[in-house]
């Protein structure tokens, strides 16, 4: 059976062992299909899509940087999800992504106002 079919079947029946594997930090189930950098950027995109807590953004961005993603790629990920999540979600999440990248966009905006 093709690997993707096996994964879809196991997800569809909520195979607990497979789901536990996916939830693990070292998600080896996707390792063969996605490189570490790409998988980490997908996690950043998902974090944006669900408008996660700031600590989740910190974790996802740190994971992406550790996986070899650049700051430009992380911001491009934020921009790339705009057609799916909508502009309002992206605008709402931009400061969280910025803080995760050690950039306080709100403070920078206040300086511009001065």
In this structure, what are the phi and psi dihedrals at residue 48, rounded to the nearest 5 degrees? -65, -45
Contact between 54 and 99 (Cβ < 8 Å):
yes
**Angle (deg, nearest 10), helices 54-66 and 87-100:** 70
What does the DSSP 8-state code read for residue 15? -
**Angle (deg, nearest 10), helices 87-100 and 71-80:** 160
pLDDT in tens, 4-61: 899 899 999 999 988 888 887 666 555 568 898 999 999 999 999 999 999 999 999 9
Report the predicted TM-score, pTM, of the whole model to 2 decimal places. Answer: 0.84
pLDDT in tens, 71-84: 999 999 999 999 99
Contact between 67 and 37 (Cβ < 8 Å):
yes
């Amino acid at each position: 059976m093709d690997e993707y079919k096996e994964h879809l079947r196991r997800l569809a029946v909520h195979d607990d062992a497979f789901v536990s594997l996916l939830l693990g930090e070292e998600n080896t189930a996707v390792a063969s299909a996605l490189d570490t950098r790409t998988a980490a950027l997908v996690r950043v995109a998902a974090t944006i899509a669900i408008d996660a807590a700031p600590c989740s953004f910190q974790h996802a961005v740190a994971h992406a940087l550790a996986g070899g993603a650049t700051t430009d790629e992380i911001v491009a990920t934020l921009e790339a999800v705009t057609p799916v999540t909508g502009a309002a979600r992206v605008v709402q999440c931009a400061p969280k992504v910025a803080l995760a990248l050690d950039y306080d966009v709100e403070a920078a905006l206040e300086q511009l106002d001065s």
